[in-house]
Amino acid sequence: MAKYQLVEDQRAMDRFYAELKDADWMCFDTEFVGEKRFRTLICLIQVTSPSGNYLLDPLRLPNLDLLLDLISNPEILKITHAGENDYRLLYQQYGVLPRNIFDTQIAAGMLGYHYPSGLGKIVSGELDINLRKGYAVTDWEARPFSQKQLDYALEDVIILEPLWKKLSKRLEADGRLEWAIEECKQLETEEFYYQDPYHEALTSNLITSLKTRDQVFLMRLFNWRRDEAEKRDESKNRILQTKLISQIVKAMRGGKQALKENRRIPEFIYRKYADLWTEMYERAATQEELNVLKRLPSAPNEDARDEVLLELLYLLMKYRCLDENISHALVMPRNAIRRMKNDPKVLDNILGSGWRGELLGEEFVDWLKNYDHLDLSISGGQIGIKMANR
């Protein structure tokens, strides 16, 4: 069992800060509970550094100001695994941005591991150590902690230092350490944590099959559910179950009576929200809402040529990544090329970092930027792509 200091009061927090404020590096992780709430509850923060191991209890500490100061200190390297989740929570709840980051999940993706990969898989592959995972879904809100809970929590953070050193050496040998640092820098920007208020609707499997009026109502329904969840600090599913949304949207075409007669919509839901939803459905669409709908991807097969070409570009990117032993999911999300057709900012976000352009090559980047002018030819057993005006 590793030794640690339990930080539960301001005095212990002051001592923790004094011991870490001049450290070269610190590894940290969080345990949290998100069920039944809109705001995720951070229940435990594990930290290891050259000065020792620490377990911070946010439910008993008066505040986390001193920890946040360390997170934002550019002189201290922060080592995490899948730190995006932790940094997002800290940004959303405290407005703090991290500085000087090394994330082992990102680093592993640059070395051929599937992205995203769990910590256990990477630790096993790099250090030949098997981590315990028996407490991944334990009740971190309950007090007091059990010793097994604390041992599990510490194990995940103590292993990060040797993993960081091993991955850094491999990245440096492959000439990719700067790539990893560059990618981690994205987690230090406000733009990275921006949440599109229409994200749920735009990524819904339902929206592209609807007519405009129903699409607008679907956006309003998702936003209403989110606002209610935030107001009550309850999960969105406790406000309205996701499985009911498609039934509600389709029923609203026939008005309140159709909503009432739909056997899959509980009667208490109808009584509580029928008038509100009717008003939401009948209200005219705003220009902002219509502009949001323009960002939707084209329906499949709307333009067969574009579909084939975009799919081919994605597969070429994937093949390039296989050849270079880097996770294609880290380089470009599966739907990114298709989304760029309707939103040029998607391409800017992807290629805004230089390492992707370096990996994919100038010609491929040029194809992405000008795919509307590409010609595809298949002849004599060869596939050719070229710019139509060249």
Confidence at residue 366, expressed as pLDDT on a 0 to 100 scale: 86
Cα–Cα separations (whole angstroms), residue 199 to 52, 131, 243:
41, 35, 17
Tokens at 229, concatenated = 């969840």
Same domain, 100 and 15: yes
Same domain, 89 and 21: yes
Segment 305-361, tens digit of pLDDT? 777 888 888 999 999 999 999 999 999 887 777 777 666 677 777 776 689 989 999
Same domain, 210 and 111: no
Mean pLDDT to the nearest integer, 208-237: 97
Same domain, 112 and 127: yes
Confidence at residue 134, expressed as pLDDT on a 0 to 100 scale: 57
Mean pLDDT to the nearest integer, 185-205: 94
Same domain, 183 and 210: no
- Least Cα distance to 183 among 121, 124, 126, 115 occurs for 115
Measure the CA dihedral 47/52/56/62, to 10°: -120
Residue, of 299 and 272, whose pLDDT is higher: 272
Q: What are the backbone angles phi and psi of residue 146, rounded to the nearest 5°?
A: -85, 160
Q: How far apart are CA 340 and CA 369, in angstroms?
A: 9
Instruction: Give the percent of the chain with pLDDT over 70.
Output: 94
Distance of CA 126 to the CA centre of its chain: 25
Tokens at 83, concatenated = 């730190």
Same domain, 40 and 117: yes
The burial of 351, by beta-carbon neighbours within 10 Å (0-12 exposed, 13-18 middle, 19 or more buried), is given as middle
CB count in 10 Å sphere of residue 251: 23
| Mean residue pLDDT across the chain | 91
Measured CA angle at 190 (ends 188, 196), to 5 deg: 135
Segment 100-137, tens digit of pLDDT? 999 999 999 999 999 999 999 999 999 999 997 655 56
Which range has the worst mean pLDDT, 160-169, 292-301, 304-313?
292-301
Distance of CA 35 to the CA centre of its chain: 18
On the question of pLDDT at 255 being above 80, the answer is yes
Mean pLDDT to the nearest integer, 155-179: 97
CB 356 within 8 A of CB 142: no
Confidence at residue 120, expressed as pLDDT on a 0 to 100 scale: 95
On the question of pLDDT at 300 being above 60, the answer is no
Confidence at residue 82, expressed as pLDDT on a 0 to 100 scale: 97
Confidence at residue 311, expressed as pLDDT on a 0 to 100 scale: 86
Same domain, 155 and 103: yes
Confidence at residue 345, expressed as pLDDT on a 0 to 100 scale: 72
Domain extent for 251? 199-293
**Count of structural domains within the chain:** 3
CATH number of the domain enclosing 237: 1.10.150
CB 250 within 8 A of CB 327: no
Confidence at residue 96, expressed as pLDDT on a 0 to 100 scale: 97
- Least Cα distance to 30 among 82, 76, 77 occurs for 82
